[in-house]
Structure 1
Amino acid sequence: MSKLKLISIVIFVCLLVLTVELIASSKPHKNDNQYELLKEYRFTQEEMNFIINYQIDPEKIKPYLQFETFRVYNFFFYENIRTKYQLSYLETINTYNFPNYYNYDTIPTLAIFTNTPLVLVNKHFFLLKSYYPKNLVNVNTRNITYIKRPNEEMYLQKEALENFDKLYQEAKNEGFELVIFSGFRPYHKQQELYYETFGMDNSISAKPGHSEHQTGLAIDVSTLKHGLTDYFALSQEYLWLEKNAYRFGYILRYPKDKEHITGYQFEPWHFRYVGVEHAKIIYEQNLTLEEYLFKTFELK
């Protein structure tokens, strides 16, 4: 046999072996134990093939299975995000699903957790023009001091009003006279303020649909002396609110040094009802509503 022919045969055999290996690698490398484990997790056949083909350890997938929006085909994207930014598995899922969660210069997204005390409304998440909260109650049904305006009533959601009433009475018993300046504000009223009163200044007023006042869960509260100014932050009333509001389910919505997260400058008068249980955690961990939701719940 000639040397040239021998070389040709060797090359052919090598190519054949390589071809066989490539064909084999395109099929699932079935490991019985691994396969049974995947079946236990209720993956589809296609998903199991994907996991086995890419030799993904099922144990590394396991922490993600608790999340409804988890998709096995995104596994490598999830892991890249998690390891790069040192995030929890929940934060990883939320980052993948809402990459612009903290980016207020992108296309707005419909509000999440609507019809709950945790509804998120900010410069990125918005409410529809037609959104109108249920269970609105007139503030005048309670013995609370509030600003009365001509041809205008003030409302809050029932639960928010009931809890603010408790807050108000305790503050009053300690010598603090609080005043509500604003409560529920419908879309059309916010539209009027934004375009006519504040001249579309985003630093002063929220765009229509992006105001928390449309939820019926937000209040602007201060004193007659200080009004809605930064001077309120220097008052004893504010200091009392800052330390006690959470006990009644309210949080300081736009705290100092969190502007890059909330999108708004510090507003000592703007408080938001989220419920006692949630407010306690937010207060104790020094979080904003955005941070709390992102770290605690799967965002969908």
Structure 2
Amino acid sequence: MIHDIIAKEVKLVQNKKTNIEARVILILICLGVFCGCFWVMNQTYDPLARYPYATDENRDILLQYLDSEDIDYIISNQIQPEEFIEFIDEEGFNIRYCRLYYTAAKTQAQSNAYIVNFVNRFRQHFSANTLKTLLEHYSYVDLTTFYENEAIRQQPLKLVANPSQMFVILNADTSVYKYAPLNLVQTGSLSLHENLAQAWERMENAYQSMLGSDASLGLVKGYTPYDQVFTEYTTLSQINPERVDQVYLPAGQNELQLGYTIGLQGYQEWINGLLAQETVDYAALKEGLEESLKVKISWLEENAYRYGFVIRYPQDKESVTGHLYNPFLLRYVGTENARAMQENNKVMEEMKLSEE
């Protein structure tokens, strides 16, 4: 009896062992089948299957230069081949900046290698939309020089993306660098924006009508290019380096570079007087002017707005503009804006101006 029981137990153990072995074999077979299927699938997998713009012509080059993450990126962002294919073999190419490369090339011509290098170095300064605007107004060389020198030397200094806008405000934190405006016309030896030139002629005629044909507002400053501003600023800095930025801003930051600013007779005399004073005293400066200049100041303060001009840096607004009063420096803003500024005693920094 005991022998029969032992025999049954032995047989039960043997059956369990057989079942385990069978299960192991089954698992190994399934694993082998899975690996085989995976290998077959891997041999036939097309990483560009989900990319609708893959063609027989571009497939090989896409697979050569883009890894799986890159391919996922162009799929998820719906990037078409024409946005990057011409840059793909350039050293430093990064698919994540392809729209910047594309925007740059379409806006201002340059070699693909140059564009890739330019974007890779300075991409933190612009978006695709901003880059387009910048390249419509500045050269690659000027942008490179600005970002490498000016922006580092004078932090924080921001380059104005669209310096052609009528109401650009320049100060210690903004720059148009070497921008040269279009739509300039000659008035005597000076260049002015064409809209300003027409308004200037009307204002000069009105002044002569009121004070006689021999009277003149005396236009002495118009559009002033970067290099000339740089020279003038350097000269004035030697007179009074501590105060110069309050009377004449440096090159790139000076609104005379915009084409919408003019200086009238008395302009330079006033600046020199401000720099020569130990303590700023406008009353003393006015007292020292010849009578015709005193008359001119009064007329401008009462009438310039009628022709679209404002005194750019008026008295009692120094804390807003960061600039000392100069009654001979005018900015053209259009008649409606000028009237609103006159009536509300506001400067450009305090207004939301609109083109008429």
Q: Residue 249 of structure 1 aligns to which amino acid in structure 2?
A: G
* Aligned match of 2:93: none
Q: Residue 183 of structure 2 aligns to which amino acid in structure 1?
A: N
Q: Residue 203 of structure 1 aligns to which amino acid in structure 2?
A: Q
Q: Residue 173 of structure 1 aligns to which amino acid in structure 2?
A: S
Higher-Rg structure is 2
Q: Residue 233 of structure 2 aligns to which amino acid in structure 1?
A: Y
Q: Residue 337 of structure 2 aligns to which amino acid in structure 1?
A: H
Correspondence 1:17-166 to 2 at 5 A = 107-111=156-160, 114-129=163-178, 131-140=179-188, 153-166=189-202
What TM-score do the two structures reach when normalised by structure 2? 0.46
1:214 maps onto 2:253 in alignment: no
Of 174, 184, 192, 2:231 maps to: 192
Cα separation, partners in 2 of 1:227 and 1:202, compared to 1, 3 Å: closer
1:281 maps onto 2:346 in alignment: no
Deviations 1:218-273 (CA, angstroms, capped at 9, x unpaired)? 1111359x776642697122111111111111011101111111011111111000
Correspondence 1:213-232 to 2 at 5 A = 213-222=256-265, 230-231=285-286
Q: State the SS of the aligned residue for 2:232.
A: helix
Q: State the SS of the aligned residue for 1:156.
A: strand
Q: Residues of 2 paired with 1:204 and 1:167: CA distance? A: 25
* Aligned match of 1:174: 210
1:192 Cα deviation (Å)? 1.2
Q: Residues of 1 paired with 2:265 and 2:301: CA distance? A: 12
Is this contact kept in 2: 1:191–1:207, CA < 8 A? Answer: yes
1:113 Cα deviation (Å)? 6.2
- Which sections of structure 2, spanning at least 5 residues, go unmatched? 1-153, 274-284
* Aligned match of 1:254: 313
Q: Residues of 2 paired with 1:204 and 1:255: CA distance? A: 12
Of 240, 250, 265, 2:299 maps to: 240
Is this contact kept in 2: 1:181–1:219, CA < 8 A? Answer: yes
Q: Residue 132 of structure 1 aligns to which amino acid in structure 2?
A: A
Is this contact kept in 2: 1:112–1:119, CA < 8 A? Answer: no
1:120 Cα deviation (Å)? 1.4
Q: Residue 326 of structure 2 aligns to which amino acid in structure 1?
A: E
Q: Residues of 1 paired with 2:342 and 2:163: CA distance? A: 22
Is this contact kept in 1: 2:177–2:253, CA < 8 A? Answer: no
Q: Residues of 1 paired with 2:321 and 2:236: CA distance? A: 23
Q: Residues of 2 paired with 1:128 and 1:219: CA distance? A: 19
Deviations 1:105-162 (CA, angstroms, capped at 9, x unpaired)? 9612233763232121222221122x1111111112xxxxxxxxxxxx3111010011
Q: State the SS of the aligned residue for 1:260.
A: helix
Cα separation, partners in 2 of 1:168 and 1:108, compared to 1, 3 Å: same
Cα separation, partners in 2 of 1:137 and 1:119, compared to 1, 3 Å: same
Q: State the SS of the aligned residue for 1:203.
A: helix
Q: Percent identity?
A: 27
Cα separation, partners in 2 of 1:169 and 1:194, compared to 1, 3 Å: same
* Aligned match of 1:60: none
Q: State the SS of the aligned residue for 2:264.
A: strand
Is this contact kept in 2: 1:110–1:125, CA < 8 A? Answer: yes
Cα separation, partners in 2 of 1:177 and 1:227, compared to 1, 3 Å: farther
Cα separation, partners in 2 of 1:185 and 1:274, compared to 1, 3 Å: same
Is this contact kept in 2: 1:177–1:223, CA < 8 A? Answer: no
Q: Which has the higher contact order (CA 8 A, sep 6+)?
A: 1
Is this contact kept in 1: 2:247–2:324, CA < 8 A? Answer: no
Q: Residues of 2 paired with 1:133 and 1:258: CA distance? A: 28
Q: Residues of 2 paired with 1:283 and 1:110: CA distance? A: 30
Q: State the SS of the aligned residue for 2:313.
A: coil
Cα separation, partners in 2 of 1:289 and 1:127, compared to 1, 3 Å: same
Q: Residues of 2 paired with 1:236 and 1:205: CA distance? A: 24
Is this contact kept in 2: 1:198–1:204, CA < 8 A? Answer: no
Q: Residues of 1 paired with 2:158 and 2:265: CA distance? A: 31
Is this contact kept in 1: 2:158–2:174, CA < 8 A? Answer: yes
* Aligned match of 1:205: 248
Is this contact kept in 1: 2:270–2:326, CA < 8 A? Answer: no
Q: Residues of 2 paired with 1:184 and 1:125: CA distance? A: 18
Q: Residue 209 of structure 1 aligns to which amino acid in structure 2?
A: G
Is this contact kept in 2: 1:251–1:274, CA < 8 A? Answer: yes
Q: Residues of 2 paired with 1:265 and 1:136: CA distance? A: 28
Is this contact kept in 2: 1:183–1:216, CA < 8 A? Answer: yes
Q: Residue 282 of structure 1 aligns to which amino acid in structure 2?
A: M
**RMSD between aligned residues:** 2.7
